[in-house]
Amino acid sequence: MNIIIVGCGRVGAELAYRLYQKGHNISVIDHVASAFNNLPSDFRGRTIEGEVMNMDVLSRAGIGSADGLAAVTNSDPLNAVVAHLARSAYGVPNIVVRNYDPSLRVLHETFDLQVVSSSSWGAQRLEEMLASVNLRTVFSAGNGEVEIYEFSVPAAWDGATLGELLPTTNGIIISVTRAGKAILPTPDYQIKTNDVILVSATFDGIEVLRNILHSRPEA
C-alpha cells in the first residue's frame, strides 16, 4: 500500500519504519529536515521536507494515489485539518490521526476521524496496572473505551456462578478456560478456583467487577 506519514517525530518515525518493514511504500512529510534523523539508517521510503498544507508537498508525497494517511504531528489542529483535507479533497480511504492533547480530542471526533489518543490511553493503562494486580488487559478497542480483560478466579469465588460474579450489564463474559479447555459459558455456569475468565467491559464496568471480586474476603 501507499501510505503517507505526516510528522516525523518519534511516533511518526517508528510508524513509518514499521510499515516500511512490512513492505509498504512510505512517504514521510515534515517541515523540519532534521526530523528525518529520527528514521533508522536503513529506511528507504521517501522523505519530503515542507509544510503539509502546501498542495505541492502533498502531491510530491503521492496523495493522489495514497491508500492511507497518518497525521501524527504534535499539533492537534494541524492533524485534524490535514486528515479532513486528505479525505474530502483527495478521497484517501484510510486515515488515522494522533491526538496529542486529550482536551482537544473532541476536535478529531467532530471531523469523525479515527483517532489514537496516546496520552489518554497510556494514562489509563498505567492506572489499571497500579490499581489492580489480578485483572490484566489483553485487548484494547478504540482508545480503551472497551477492553478485554483476563483474570483467574480467586479461591473466595470457588463454586459461585458467573451471574453472581457479573450480575449487571457492565460487562460481557467472553469465555471461561478450565484445564486448558475454553467454553462459551452461560450465567448459571459454576466457576472454580483458578478458572481463567475473559470479560469485555468498559473502564467503569471493570471497576464494578473489581469491586465485586474484592467483596468476598479470602478464607
For 134, half-sphere exposure in the C-beta direction (CA atoms, 13 angstrom radius) is: 19
User: What pLDDT band is residue 132 in, cutting at 50, 70 and 90?
Assistant: low
- Domain 132-213: CATH superfamily is Regulator of K+ conductance, C-terminal domain (3.30.70.1450)
> In terms of pLDDT, which residue wins out, 161 or 111?
161
Radius of gyration of the chain from Cα atoms?
Answer: 22
Give every CB contact of residue 172 below 8 A, 6+ residues apart in sequence. Answer: 199, 200, 201
Task: Please tell me the pTM assigned to this model.
Answer: 0.68
- Domain 2-120: CATH superfamily is NAD(P)-binding Rossmann-like Domain (3.40.50.720)
Q: Are the C-beta atoms of residues 97 and 112 closer than 8 Å to each other?
A: no
Mean pLDDT for all residues in the chain: 89
Question: Tens digit of pLDDT for each residue in 189-210?
Answer: 999 998 989 999 988 888 888 8
Question: Tens digit of pLDDT for each residue in 46-92?
Answer: 999 999 999 999 999 999 999 999 999 999 999 999 999 999 999 99
The predicted model gives 129-153 an average pLDDT of 79
